[in-house]
Homo-oligomer: A and B are copies of this chain.
Amino acid sequence: MTTQFRGVIPPVVTPLTADGEVDKVSFARSLNRMIDAGVDGLFTLGSSGEVAFSTDARRREIIQTVMEIVDGRVPVFVGCIDTETNRVIEHAKEAKELGASAIVATCPFYALGGLPEIERHFRLIHEAVPELPLFAYDIPVCVHTKLPGGLLVKLGQEGVLAGVKDSSNDDVAFRFLVDDNAKAGHPLTLLTGQEVVVDGAYMAGADGSVPGLANVEATGYVRMWKATEAGDWATVKKEQDWLAALMRIVTVPQGVAGFGSGVGAFKTAMALLGVFDTNQMPNPVLPLKGENVKRIAAVLEECGMTLARTPEEVSASTEA
């Protein structure tokens, strides 16, 4: 049974300066804050870590920055996200050289294919970087394929996959995956990528979570995981209720959709809390401004959080 990685492993949001560079000071503030909160690992270059927006040089800079800041205090997962196998393998080899604890890869996207290509894709990645645990990243909203549970468990039993980061929002499939994995001897570490239905995933038997919202507020997720381990479901529910209320920062922005409202809201909240210096977004996405920043500030205050900066200051933070 895999017990190497368990618990709360937030997908790291990447802070940018107003002119779009990696903001290492803010980055250190954020990562240290999560580690101090007691997270069990960090996942850099996930979807919310703007992996798809970052050039290869930028990806390298992000990994290196994270590695330096973390300095071995917790395991670091690295997202190796690209269209097809050979491109992913390049990222995986680089992640290994830079000290990743584990790598995370989606199935192929862009080109059309089928299950045989998906299976061979994961096998080839594992063959190329056998030293590192390989997590399959199930995120159909981005890659437009749902990974079948049967294939995942089979690849787990054969040692190709070490785990799954499930961002499918298909909780029925996740529930069956947990059960099939248990029947197979628990070869896979199963992490849910949700923020507001983590309680259900824990009840189903998840081994941990990868909540983007933990960048804004990690302590609640740490308490929820500890309560899960203790079987204290009333506390799990209480923490999840509060975190779900906080997650509304991503639903209040108007006139913007997808990454711009999701990660845009995380960055804006972190800027309001004084963790990030700006809420700058990567091209072609624009940072949230004006009323949208105020809406996010209102949610934070309703949830009892203390703002370090005004909405106006955050709106101005991305100006030249």
Interface residues of A (CB under 8 A from B): 47, 52-56, 58, 81-87, 90, 108-114, 116-118, 120-121, 123-124, 141-144, 169-172, 175-176, 179, 194-197, 199-201, 203-204, 231, 233-234, 236-237, 240, 244-245, 248, 251, 256-260, 262, 282-286
Contacts and interface: CB of A to CB of B under 8 A. Distances in A.
Given A113-B258, A116-B256, A169-B172, 10 more contacts: A53-B84, A53-B87, A81-B83, A112-B259, A117-B285, A120-B283, A120-B286, A124-B283, A176-B251, A179-B248
A144 B258 CA distance: 14
Contacts of A144: 144
A47 B109 CA distance: 12
25 contacts: A47-B111, A52-B83, A53-B83, A54-B87, A55-B87, A55-B90, A81-B110, A85-B283, A86-B283, A113-B259, A114-B256, A114-B260, A116-B256, A117-B260, A118-B284, A120-B283, A121-B284, A123-B284, A169-B170, A179-B245, A197-B200, A199-B200, A203-B203, A204-B240, A233-B233
Contacts of A170: 169
B260 A113 contact: yes
Contacts of A256: 114, 116
Contacts of A260: 113-114, 117
B175 A113 contact: no
A127 to B, nearest CB: 11
Contact of A204 (B54, B87, B200): B200
